[in-house]
Structure 1
Amino acid sequence: MDFVLNEDQEALESSVRRFLMTEMTPELIRELWHTPTGRSDALWQMIAAQGLTAVSVPETHDGLGLGEVEWSLLAQTYGYFAGPEPLLDTALVAVGLLDGLPASEARDALLRDIAAGSARVAIAHPVNPYVADAHVAQVLLAGRDGELHWLTPHACRLNALESVDPSRRLFELDWTPCAATRVASRETAAPLLAGALDRGAFAVAAQLLGLTQRVLDVAIDYSAQRKQFGKPIGSYQALKHLLADVAIRYEFARPVVYRAACAIADNDPQRALYVSHAKLAATAAAQLAARHAMQVHGAIGYTWELDLQIFMKRIWALANSWGDTTFHKARVAAALIEDRAPMGPARTFELES
């Protein structure tokens, strides 16, 4: 498997990183916590102007026609800056769902609106008990009893819920399915919902990778500045070990996430296995990073004033999004044990067809 990224992919990621470094600041995130929606239409338009909302939209619908491999970089970068907007749910997961539906005037118009940045889409998937960003969505795509439904905001009632992360706005949906809202029957919806689950879990895994790197960078910076007994605390061996453990876990998780991106892009038969592996590896790395960063900071790490809380809370929130650890361990076990997947030392050097 070749994980080498080309110059165009790296240039796109570098451009997005420069934009987010300037616009997606911790100060802005804190400001949005105190707004009614927690979202910024101006920021969303700037994100669209960078082409991020159009990444996965087909070129026939004014998009860039790119795929999950590009998102493996972009989602990491978005996670690094703790982007609060529903970019991945709209521009990756929703676009994948819409692309699988039969062409229609409403579907084609929505794809163009997503590419242009004039529409956000919320996803109500059976694996997620609550729906993120339903309050700012122009359309909600909801799975119910194996079917896929297309809802408009006035077709359902939103019950707001508290989240550990102030940037995540979660809701329970109160709605009644009917023939008018149904866009895919059980048979047609099954592969669409399965694809949405894999894209959603992959998007979370990539964001968790970015958050791991951000928390590690914050801890390294603090350990270099904070002094004890006249020396930076980062010079002590115990702290070096904590940070090295995180760096190692991150490096082991990164190729796993890239493999999941390739599996989705190629519609690999073992896609679910690779995606769940990526979600587990990225979650473990991010949670370890959060624990060790808190240990490096000591008691001050618990205070509201430090930006560390922004990234830690996002890690805690995303860890159970699009399937928790138990769910993904079960998927891995099912793939390895029941399907007898061709994995292990005996298969290491087999050439791929």
Structure 2
Amino acid sequence: MHFGQPELKRTLLGFCIVLGISLTFSCKQDKAGSTVGFKFPEQGKEVTLGDDLKIELDVPADVKVNSASYLVDGKSVGTKNDASPFVLKTAALPLGYRLISAIVDNGTKKDTLTVNVVLKSAIKPALFGYKVINTFPHDTSSYTQGLEYHDGRFLESTGLNGSSTLRWVELKTGKALQKISLDKKYFGEGSSLVGDKVIMLTWQENTGFVYDAKSFKQIGSFPYQNSREGWGLSFDGQRLIKSDGTNRLWFLNKDNYKEEGFVEVFDDKGQVDQLNELEYIDGMVYANIYQTDKIAVINPKSGAVERYINLAGILPEKDRFPNTDVLNGIAWDAKGKRLFVTGKKFNKLFEISLVPKK
């Protein structure tokens, strides 16, 4: 999408939470004098998935430890009968922020300690460029938010207040074969075809719409739940997959649109934010990264980025106009094995093949 700065807000919130935890723990130490804490790991430590993580308590000389029980995100992972280090196996854990807890028993009372770590992907993403196979016209009034290919035509949803639309688009001409406009109070976002229905998101209005795929008559709506905003949407044949501008991919029930879980997206360097338009292709999620020329290819089971596609330069300078915006829009012709990409208010849509980078 968009105009906001969701990641800045998220970073500040995370900083405040960590700061609050740190201050609370420091005060506890000052008052208690002799308090057990964590020696390892330090707060916010980044750990590569699959690496062993050493957890060690910092125990004052005058404190006895009868047992220490360790948990990750509230689930028990092991117990020690003393304060000796505990080794956490991370291979089966989800990517992202994990809360490590230690329940320390000195025989008369139990104290609970917590620390956060970040699990990042162990996979170094393969890098791809592109080759343009065909070029097609694209409507420069279309602030593209969602793009799919079905039976020789595109399902495209567009954004901006007062200009948001849902349309079926002819491939060869780029012209709308059928179109409806959203009320000007809505900022349109991603869309996806599910059976005989089209599901379309809005940005910050906390609302998704359900349309009849043939008539575009609205037949329902639904509220968002824990996901922050509406950005991209795709369908894997079983569940809807939704992005909200963060590094999360949310999984929605295809019938009632309830959120049933999420994965956090990471590469080998850290979390990958501002995931935008989505396309499900052969078991992987292809995601535009907002305000970049990159597409991340994500394993939806783990959240790991396995490939990056760099589309820099795909729209020639001669085709860039004052209203031309950023790359956004991925569509897959499953039968013809064709990959299409475009951008917000681009005058062209491209069929491309992927070229591995050496």
Mark yes or no: TM-score above 0.5. no
- Structure number with higher helix proportion: 1
When normalised by structure 2's length, the TM-score is 0.26
When normalised by structure 1's length, the TM-score is 0.26
Ranked by relative contact order (alpha carbons within 8 Å, sequence separation 6 or more), the top structure is 1
- Structure number with higher strand proportion: 2
